Each structure stands twice: as structure tokens, then as C-alpha cells.
Amino acid sequence: MSREDDIRNAAARRRNILFLTERFLADYGFHQTSESLKNEARLPTDTYELCDNIDLDSIYLEYASYYHLKFGKYPKIVRKLKPNVNTELDMKRKPKSKCRLTAATTNAAQTEMPPAESLTIPGDLELIVTKVEMVKAGVEGAEAGGIIIPVAATNGENNRNETLTRLREIEHLTIADGLLSQQDWQNLADLVKTTIMRDVLKLSWADMCGNASAVDIVKEAVVTPLKYPQLFANGLRPWKSVLLHGPPGSGKTMLAKILYAETREQVTFFNVTSSIVVSKWRGESEKIMRILFHMAVKYSPSIIFFDEIEGLTSSRDRPSDHESSKRFKNELLQLLDGMEQQMGGVFVLASSNLPWDIDDAFLRRFEKKLLVQLPNPVERAILIGKQLPILLTVSKEQMELLVRISEQFTGDEIRLACKEISMQMVRRVTRADKHTTKTEQEVPLQQAFEQIKPLSVKLMKRHQIWQEEHSS
């Protein structure tokens, strides 16, 4: 390795240590020291920032575990000073008090101070006040021979009026509005805008077969306030958050798609995925969530849809969770909890295949927890009739057989079975040998349904038990 590489690595190592130290000071409340370190060390904060998966505390823990594994004991980082050295240092570090009135300072003050007639000092007012107290009182200090004398501020009234004006401006300005004026927050806002759905989906409520209770709750939360806003003018608020759970393929995402298609011209729909909100940079995930909810309020009425939300809201007491994951979950909890007061016009819809993995604090935020049921025989017959090819004629006996075979099937599994039937018809049309018998030309409907193995038999029982324990 050349000397230039050594110098470059040393500079990078020094820069990384300074960034770690600055972040450690900021996290533990030493904000002034952190700012002083950034200014004195001239940290390139406009070019670099600390990664989200590293901090000084984790480095210390890793070093301690490595040292214990290698030497059989934990390292000593600090040690006590000897008593004599400690005393000497205390003597050297002991600050010289300038607030005591000595005879010399009193004499100097008497010689240098203006006549008593020119000062108007209340009888109980101390002659020594700190600069902090003077700022709070709105006065300026004038030193005379070691004595700080309060003098009435000439511009106190003007400063007070400016402070009141600034407070009024801050009252009407939310935090997110101020942050969006910065370039880095604006870049994150552009990223959040990509989650807004603009596609045209030709779906309607008639396409949702079954689950009437879930459909009614979703309509009460979104559609009813749009059609009848006068019903919610006297303090009544619609449902602000709903959790849909059920086996995979039961229709949770389908319900969200239909809701978007039915309200596309009236509601802003945010389709949030983990790839958008999870970032490797420290603190960026929390910023994205805050901007997401802020934009949802800005473009209200709006819907925020979290698909497979258990990946973002797992239990917070897991030892494997990183500190950044806990911060992200705490931020999301605060945003969800503050929706009723600060985020009117925002509806949160979430779906989950594993609701038992969601943290209890997040479950409390969802006002409604709905189980998306499997289709009953009548609904299965309707689904099969819609999904089968148009040119295929099915007798009543065949339909009853397919309905019986498809028991415990989800809507998506019925779709797959019907798709297999359609593909069999395509294969027969494109087959090279056209000299086939009539029996061979018949499509085996029963075989297409029997080859589907439903995955929801065990999962549905667990979902039903969970719904009985957490129903709302």
C-alpha cells in the first residue's frame, strides 16, 4: 500500500470517528457540543452523513464482545485517577469566582460607578445578575469593576413585539411545512409522490364476491363521508383505520383495489410498500413516514394502504431489532395516534396474513380488525361462473361438483383452477395433431380443481381464533 493510500485511509478514519462522535453527542442531548464539534472539525455534512446501521454504542459493544472472546475478560476503557493527581487537577480546574464582592472590587466599584442618583435600583434587587437572567428580564448588563449592574433595555418593547409575532407565525405553521422547504425533505417528498396511484382499474363493488361486512365498514370509512358530509359535521368521525386479515388470496388486496377504483376521482390513494419507507440512512425512514402523512393531509381526503403491514409493525421487544427499526416504529405509532386530532380526512387501510406478529400498540391504533372470510358455496358458484371461459358450457351437475370440490378454496385459488381450465383449452387449440377424438377434446374440469391444494385450511382456523380474541 502506498503512502498516499495510507494518508487517504487515515483521513477517512478520522472523518468517520468524528461523525460517530458527533452523532453520539447529539443522541444524548449534548447539542451545543455537537454543533461546536461540527464547526471546529469542519465536518462535510453536505457531502457525507452517518449510515443508519452504525453508531458509537454498537461499535463499543462489538469491541467489548470481541475482546472478551479473545482474552476472556472485558476491556477497561477508563480508570480512576490517583488521589494526589485528582486533587491537583481539581485545584487547577477550580474556576475563579468573579461573583464574590471583595473589598477591592467594592472600592473599585465605588470609584468607577456613576453617582447613586443616576441609578434606580429597587431595594431588594441584587447587584449581581447573570447574563441569562438579564436576557430573561429583557435588560442589558454593564460591568463595572467586577460588578454586573442591570440597565433597562431601550429596545425591550420592540423585541417583545417581534417575539409575539414570531410565535404567532409558528403556531400556524406545522413542522412538516417548514421541513419541506429544505431540499433533502423535498427530495423525500418526491419519493413519496411515487406511491400515489394513478392507474385506471376497471373494478367495482360488484367484483367483490362475499365479505359484505368488510365492504360495509370500508364504505362507512370512505364513501359515506364523501356522499353525506353533513352526517359528520357535529363531532362524529368516520372510521380512521381498518386492519384486514385472512389467509393469502382471500381478497384483502382486491378490496383495496376496488376501493381505489371506486374513489379514484375523489380520493388520493397512497400505496405504501417497504421499499419506499425503509432506508439504510439514519433517520430517513422516520422522515419518509412523516412526509407521507403530511402529504396525505395536504391532499385529503386520502387513503394510505399498507399491504403486508406485519413486516413494518412487528413486535418491538425482539432482541434482534436494530435501534433504527425501533425508532421507525415509534414514529409510525405517533403518527397513527395523532391522526384524529391533526390528520383529519386520512384513512389508513392495512392488510396482513400474520396479524399475530403485529405489535399490540399498533393493533390498538386500528379501530376495526376484520377477518376476510372464505367464500361460501353460493359465492364460490358465482366466482366459478365469472372465471370460466365464455365458450365453455358447464352443466348444473358439473357446477355442483366444482363447488363441492372447491370447499376451503380462497378466491385466488378458484381463479387459478379456472385459469388452468382456460389454458387446457388453449393447448388443445394450438396442438399440432388436430385428429383428436371427441373425448379427448373435452376439458377435464374436475381434474383442474383437484390439483389445487388449498393452503388456508390450517391458517383459517388460526385467523378465526385470533379474530375472537381481538375482534372490534
Q: Kind and range of the H or E element at 304?
A: strand 302-306
In a 3-state reduction of DSSP, which class is residue 250? coil
Residue spans of the domains in the chain: they are 3-71, 127-172, 176-371, 377-470
| pLDDT value at 86 more than 90 | no
Work out the number of other CB atoms within 10 angstroms of the CB of residue 373: 20
User: What pLDDT score was predicted for residue 66?
Assistant: 75
Cα–Cα distance measured from residue 443 to residue 452, given in angstroms and rounded to the nearest whole number:
16
Confidence of residue 443 (pLDDT cuts 50, 70, 90): low
Higher local confidence (pLDDT), 266 or 155: 266
Selecting from 1.10.2020.10, 3.40.50.300, 3.30.460.40, 2.40.50.180, what CATH number does the domain 176-371 have? Answer: 3.40.50.300
Work out the number of other CB atoms within 10 angstroms of the CB of residue 383: 21
| 161-189 pLDDT, tens digit each | 554 453 444 344 344 455 566 677 888 88
Q: Radius of gyration (Cα) for the chain, nearest Å?
A: 35
| pLDDT value at 369 more than 70 | yes
| pLDDT value at 379 more than 50 | yes
Residues 415/251, Cβ–Cβ less than 8 Å: no
Selecting from 1.25.40, 1.10.1060, 1.10.8, 1.10.940, what CATH number does the domain 377-470 have? Answer: 1.10.8
| pLDDT value at 96 more than 70 | no
| 212-242 pLDDT, tens digit each | 889 999 999 999 999 988 888 777 888 989 9
Place of cell 403556531: 171
Determine phi and psi for 390, rounding to 5 degrees: -65, -35
| 129-168 pLDDT, tens digit each | 344 344 344 444 444 344 443 444 444 455 455 544 534 4
